[in-house]
Amino acid sequence: MTTAAPQANAWTEDIRSAIAAILAISAVASLFLLWLIYIHPAAAASSRFAFLPALNALLNGLSATALLIGYTFIKAKCIRAHRAAMITAFGFSTLFLLSYILHHALHGDVRYPAHAALRGVYLPLLASHIILAVVALPLVLVTFFFSLTGRIPQHRKLARWTFPLWLYVSVTGFITWVMLRLAQG
């Protein structure tokens, strides 16, 4: 009985340490992106890699699709298929983040035209997308941590919040790209 309590405390301490590391990594990643987009000058004003915004939108759309498929699988209690779909969504989101960083390193921030229609819809949508993306990053990582370490009750509790946020961020990422493309002509 005396060995169970120290093991439980060590287990709880491991969870706290992992979550603290995930939060630290998420904070550093978010600060890096803010610096990259709003402070760091773009490397070049060229059309090189001009396909990256479209690729980013595609990856967001694929992530949203994989998320919805994963949700359908878990509702049907197909756990292996759910896990595969969620890992796929994570892969698409990771590729998106890498492509997004490359695009902003090369081209900087792309602004919605001041005179374009729907600017009043686009800017709040983009703001909600950015804010919720910052919130979703650590949630996704912690939710994956719980799943991959077999802490399924914690995974389920957190996934109820993570899933809709992650889906919203993926869908609004695609929508904001479409709106920007239409506004630019």
DSSP 78-146: -HHHHHHHHHHHHHHHHHHHHHHHHHHHHH---PPPTTSTTHHHHHHHHHHHHHHHHHHHHHHHHHHHH
The pLDDT of residue 10: 59
The CATH code for residues 4-184 is 1.20.120
Lowest mean pLDDT among 10-19, 130-139, 159-168: 10-19
pLDDT in tens, 123-136: 999 999 999 999 99
Which residues 6+ apart lie within 8 Å of 157 measured at CB? none
Question: Full-prediction pTM beyond 0.95?
Answer: no
Structural domain boundaries in the chain: 4-184
Reading the block at residue 64, the tokens are: 């949203």
Please, are residues 27 and 137 in contact by the beta-carbon 8 Å criterion? no
